[in-house]
Structure 1
Amino acid sequence: MDRPHHKFWPKRLPHALTIPATSLWDNLATSARRYPDKAAIIFFGRRTSYAELQRQAEKLAARLQAMGVRKGDRVLLNMQNCPQLIIAHFAILRANAVVVPVNPMNRAEELKHYITDPDAKVAITTSDLAGEIARADAELPASERLSHLIVTHFTDAFDPEAPECGPLPAAWRDWLLTRHAFPGLVSGQVIGWNAALDNGLPLGEVTVGPADLAVLPYTSGTTGHPKGCMHPHRSIMHNAMASTVWGNGTAEGVMLLVVPMFHITGMVSVMHSHIYMGATLVVMPRWDRDLAGHLISSYKVTTWTNIPTMVIDLLGSPNFASFDLSSLHHIGGGGAAMPQAVAQRLLEQYDLRYVEGYGLTETAAPSHSNPPDAPKQQCLGIPFLSCDSRVIDPETLKELPPGEQGEIIMRGPMVFDGYWKRPEATEAAFIEFEGQRFFRSGDLGRTDEDGYFFLTDRLKRMINASGFKVWPAEVEALMFRHPAIQEACVISTRDAYRGESVKAVVVVRASHKGQVSEQDIVDWCRANMAVYKVPRIIQFVDALPKSGSGKVMWRSLQEAEGQA
C-alpha cells in the first residue's frame, strides 16, 4: 500500500536510522569526553557539567556494585525531576543494571508491587518519599524486602541561599528545603546520597550492549497490577537519537525539562535525547507556570516538550507579558490534544508550530510525530523514523483505507521486547501482519488522505487526565481495600481543564451505609494511591449494572456519564 505521508517527510532526513551498537551509558561518556566543561544540567542556578555528571554517576555505580548489584539486576528509581534522578539513572546503567522508574506519586500500597514484581533489592529516592518506600518494604515478606535504600535531599543538588538560585515558588519551599530524617529498613541498610558518592570503590567494566535490558517502566491495563515493559538499550537508543534529529537538535540546544522523567516521554525524548546530543537540560522538579516563564526567559530555552495543559497555564499567567519566549524554536508534546485555538495563538503570536506526537510506554515514547515543518493540529502525526504503522480492523485484522476507524498497530526498533514475567500478555499484545510482528496499541484511530494519523477512541479501558494515564482496573483494585466498599466501578468524566477526570461509582456495604461520605472515600483514596488516580467524583449507588455472566457493565455507566 502507498505511504502518502512520505511526501511530507522532512527532506533532510532518511526514513530509518542506523543506531550505534553501544549501550546508553556510552552516550553520556561520549558527551562528557566532547564537552567536559559544558553544562549538562541547570537546577535552580546550580550548573552540573558533563564531566561532573559522569564522575558522580560512576561513583554511584561503584557503590551499587559494592551493594551487590550485578548485570541485569533491577534497581528502583523513585524521584521527582532533579539532577540526582539523572545521575542515578545513568549510574544504574553504568553498573550494568536495569532502571525501574517509579511514579513518585505512588503510595506504600502501590509501591509494594514495584519492589516485588521486578525483584528489586536496591532503591534510590528522595527524603520526602523514603518513608513511603520504607512502609511498603516493612509489609513485605522478609525474602522480598529491599537490602539497601539510597536517600537524597533536594538540597544536595542546589543552594537555596545562593544568588544564582533565582525564584523559588513559595508553595515549594517546605517540600524542597526540608531535610527529612531517613527512615529505617526492617531488613536492610539506608545510606545518604553524599555518603554513597563519597567512595574510592572499584568500578567494573561496562558489559551490557544493545540487546541487554536497560529500562523496565511499568504500564497498567485491563488487569489490576501494572506490567513492566522490557526495553533493551537499543529501543531507548533509537528514540533518543530519532528525537534528536526529528527536532533539529544540536549540542547548542537548551531544553526545559519539566515533563516527568519517571515517564517514558521525559526519560527518552527529553533526558536521553539531550544527553545523546550533548545539550543542556534546565530541570524543573514539577510544573509552575511563572517559574517556567522565568527559566525560558533567563536561560534562552530553545526547545520545550510538554503536555498541552502546561502551555495553556503559561499563557494564562498574569505575568505572561514579562516573559520572553523569543528563544524557543521547537515546541511540542503529547498525552492530550492541544486545543486548536491555543495552537493557533502560538503560531500567530510567536511563529511556533506546536508539534504533537503519539507513543506508548511500549514504544519508548514516539511511534508517531508531526513533521516539524508540516504539522497538523489535533493530530498524532505520521509514523516516526524507522516505524511502520497501520490502521486495521480489530476483528478481521485487515488494513483499512483512509477515513475508516480501526486499531492502530506499529512495528519498529522502538517497540519493547515484551512484558516482564507476563508471556501471555506479551503474546496477546502482538499480531502477525504481512509476515511481520506488529504491536497492538489498543487505540482506535484513522488516517487521512495524506497519511496522517488521528486518534478517535480507545479499545483499552483507560482515562487520560492531563496526560497521566489512569487505568480503572488498578484504581478499582485499590478501592476494594476500603472496608466500606462492596463494589466500585471507575469511569471517566469530562473535565474542562484536565480533559478527563476520574469518577468512581460505588456500592457501600450494608454494614457501613450512612457511616461513610463521598469525601471520606476521596480522602482514603488520597492516602492510598497516587493523586492523579484519585477519583474526583464519588457516586453512591445501590447496585452496579451487570451482564448475564455477572461482569460489571462499565461501558453502560460510561455511556450514561457521557450523555449526562
Structure 2
Amino acid sequence: MRIDRHYEFWPKRLPKDLAVPQTSLFDNLEISARRYPDKIAIHYYGGSITYRRLKDEAEALAGYLQTRLGIKKNDRVLLIMQNSPQFIITYYGVLRANAVVVPLSPMNVTGELEFYIKDCRAKAAIVGQELYERIAPLQKGTSLQYVITAAYSEYASPQFDSEIPEEVWKPRQGFPDEDAIDWQEAISAGLKPGELIVTADDTAVLPYTSGTTGIPKGCLHTHGTVNSNTVGAAAWGSMTANTTSLVTLPLFHVTGMQHSMNAPVFSGGTMVLLTRWQRDLAAALIERFQCTHWVNIATMVVDFLANPHLNNYNIQSLSYVGGGGAPLPEAVGERLFQLLGVRYIEGYGLSETISQAHFNPPDRPKLQCIGIPSFNVDARIIDLKTFQELGPHEIGELVVHGPQVMKEYWERPEETQKAFITIDEKEFFRTGDICQYDEEGYFFIVDRIKRMINASGFKVWPTEVESVMFKHPSIQLACVVGVSDAKRGETVKAYVVLHEHERGKVTEEEIINWSKTKMSSYKYPRIVEFAESLPMSASGKVLWRQLQEKEKQR
C-alpha cells in the first residue's frame, strides 16, 4: 500500500502531483532564451554568457556535430569536462543534435574510458583540453572517431580579481594530431542544425553507475525522465528567473546536473560556476552575485563553515542550501542554521533515478534523513527475503516507482530484470539500500545491500578497485573495504597479500602511488595494509565482510 502519511508535512505552497513537460530538454533552454535573451545565464571567473549566447552556441555545436561529424539521432556523444560553460553548451548542443549525452567523470583514466567507449559505442567525444591525452589513444581501434577539445580560459576573464585554477587560466593548446578538433572551429563554423525531432520518450542522457559486480552500467534516461526531476527540483527549491545558483557540484554527476544546471536553465535563473572547489572564492561569489541557492555535498559544507575568514563575507542571500551523497553531521547543520537561519535540506537519489527520489521539506527537514518521497513517487520498504511490504520502523530494502526512474540498463536486459520488482501491478526499482521510515513518513538509510564505499559522495566499488590492483606484479591477493574518514565520510582501504618473493621489497606507500596512476583520484586506496593471508570461505572466496567488520570495530 502506498505510504502517504508524509503528506501531512508536505510544503503547503506545492501541489502533491507535478505535470511533466512532454517536450525535449533543449526546449527548456530555447524557452528561457526567448524569455530572457539578455539575462546572464552563467558567470565564470569574470566572464559571463547570456541566455541568447548559450542557446546560439549550443545550436552551432549541434550543427557542427550533424554536418561535419555525421552525428544522428540516438548516437552517443561523450562529454568529459570539468565544470565550465563549455560543459553546459555541449550538454544542450548534443541534445539539440537529437543525440544522447554520455557524461563521464574527468577523473577517469585511459583504461576506464576505453570501457565506456566500447560499451556505448560512442562516435564522438567533447573534452576539456587537459584531458585529451587520456582519450587520444582510444581514437584508434574503437568506435571513437572524433574528439573536440575545449580550453576553459576562453570563457573566463584575465581581469578576474581572485585566484583562478590552473585548468581555467591555461590558454588554448594546439594539438598536432589532426584528429583533435578545436572547440572554436566547431562553434565558429556557422553550421545550422537540422530539425529538433526528439520527444519526451526519446533517450537523452546515459549516465553510468555500478552494480554489485562493480561493472559500470549505463542508465537509460529519456527527455521525460530527466524533465520530471528537472521540474521537480525547480519547484521544490522555489527556483525562478531571479534565482542565482552557486554551482560547485560536478555537472557530470546527476545531482549537479539536475539541481545546478538543468533546473536553473528551466527556470531562467543564473549559474555562478566554479571549476574547482575553493571555499574563500565560493563565499566571495555568494556575496558578489547574491547567490540564493547552493546544492552541494556534506564535505563542502563542513569545509565552508570551517573557514576562519567566513565572517569577512556577507552570505545572507542564501535561502536554500541542501544536497545529498552523505549525511550532514548534526552539529554542522546547527551551525549552518545559526549562521543563515536556513535548515540544510538533505535528499536522496541515484543515477537510476536521475537524482532525487526523496527530499526533505524545506520548512520541516530532519537531519541525517533522506526525507519524504518526491513528486509522484511511490516509495516502500520490503522484506529482503519475502519481498513483503513492511511498516514504520521496520528495516528492509527501499523500492521506488516514479516518473524519474530510468527505463533500463543500457543493453543489459538481465541486470534490468533483476533491478525491478512488481508490486500492485506497478514496476518498482530496487535501490539496494536498506532503509526504514518513521511514523511521520520520513525515510532513513540504515545500510547498503550493495558493497559500495561512499567517499565524499562518490561511489567506489571495491570489486572494480580490486580488479585494477591485481594487475600489480607484486600483489597476490587484495580485498578492498571502506573505512571511516573524518573528511571524506568513508575512504578506501586495501588489504594486500604480496607474492612470497616480493615480501619485504615493496612498501605500502609504493602500492598507493602505483594505484594513483591507474585509477581516478577518488577510487585509489588511501590506506594499504599488508597481510600474511585473508579470511577465505570454503569455496575460496575472500570473506570481505569479516574485514569490513574488523574496521568497524576499530
Measured against the shorter chain, the TM-score band is over 0.9
Provide the residue aligned with 2:457 in structure 1: 467
Distance 1:309 1:137, change over 3 A: same
State the 1:348 CA deviation: 2.4
Distance 1:360 1:136, change over 3 A: same
Q: Distance in 2 between matches of 1:422 and 1:122?
A: 23
Letter in 1 for 2:104: V
State the 1:177 CA deviation: 2.3
Q: Distance in 2 between matches of 1:515 and 1:121?
A: 45
Q: Distance in 2 between matches of 1:201 and 1:243?
A: 34
Secondary structure of the structure 2 residue equivalent to 1:500 = strand
Q: Distance in 2 between matches of 1:507 and 1:275?
A: 51
Q: Distance in 2 between matches of 1:226 and 1:508?
A: 28
Deviations 1:441-495 (A, max 9, x none): 0000110110000011000100111111111111111212222222211100111
Q: Distance in 2 between matches of 1:136 and 1:203?
A: 28
Distance 1:39 1:80, change over 3 A: same
> 8 Å contact 2:60–2:192 — kept in the other structure?
no
Deviations 1:507-531 (A, max 9, x none): 2123433332111111111111100
Q: How does 1:476-487 map to 2 (within 5 A)?
A: 476-487=466-477
Provide the residue aligned with 1:59 in structure 2: 60
Report the count of equivalent residues. Answer: 552
Q: Distance in 2 between matches of 1:427 and 1:182?
A: 47
Matched, 1:68 2:70: yes
Matched, 1:341 2:339: no
Letter in 2 for 1:307: I
State the 1:204 CA deviation: 0.6
Q: Distance in 2 between matches of 1:563 and 1:182?
A: 54
Say which of 89, 94, 100 aligns to 1:87. 89
Q: Distance in 2 between matches of 1:349 and 1:462?
A: 34
State the 1:136 CA deviation: 4.2
State the 1:137 CA deviation: 4.1
Provide the residue aligned with 1:179 in structure 2: 171
Provide the residue aligned with 1:124 in structure 2: 126
> 8 Å contact 1:465–1:498 — kept in the other structure?
yes
State the 1:270 CA deviation: 1.9
Provide the residue aligned with 1:114 in structure 2: 116
Provide the residue aligned with 1:330 in structure 2: 320
Say which of 521, 528, 534 aligns to 2:524. 534
TM-score normalised to the size of structure 1?
0.96
> 8 Å contact 2:139–2:146 — kept in the other structure?
no
Q: Distance in 1 between matches of 2:276 and 2:452?
A: 24
State the 1:98 CA deviation: 0.3
Q: Distance in 1 between matches of 2:176 and 2:396?
A: 52
Secondary structure of the structure 2 residue equivalent to 1:262 = coil
Provide the residue aligned with 1:523 in structure 2: 513
Distance 1:183 1:109, change over 3 A: farther
State the 1:99 CA deviation: 0.4
Distance 1:480 1:294, change over 3 A: same
Percent identity of equivalent pairs: 48
Say which of 432, 435, 440 aligns to 2:430. 440
Matched, 1:133 2:131: no
> 8 Å contact 1:39–1:49 — kept in the other structure?
yes
Provide the residue aligned with 2:163 in structure 1: 168
Provide the residue aligned with 1:149 in structure 2: 147
State the 1:184 CA deviation: 5.9
Provide the residue aligned with 1:362 in structure 2: 352
> 8 Å contact 1:112–1:137 — kept in the other structure?
no
Secondary structure of the structure 2 residue equivalent to 1:528 = coil
Deviations 1:267-308 (A, max 9, x none): 112210110010000000021101101110110000000111
CA-atom RMSD in angstroms: 1.3
Matched, 1:98 2:100: yes
Q: Distance in 2 between matches of 1:517 and 1:482?
A: 13
Q: Distance in 2 between matches of 1:337 and 1:302?
A: 22
Matched, 1:387 2:377: yes
Distance 1:55 1:401, change over 3 A: same
TM-score normalised to the size of structure 2?
0.98
Q: Distance in 2 between matches of 1:122 and 1:514?
A: 47
State the 1:180 CA deviation: 6.3
State the 1:145 CA deviation: 4.1
Q: Distance in 2 between matches of 1:352 and 1:202?
A: 46
> 8 Å contact 2:139–2:145 — kept in the other structure?
no
Q: Runs (4+) of structure 1 moved beyond 3 Å?
A: 135-138, 179-185
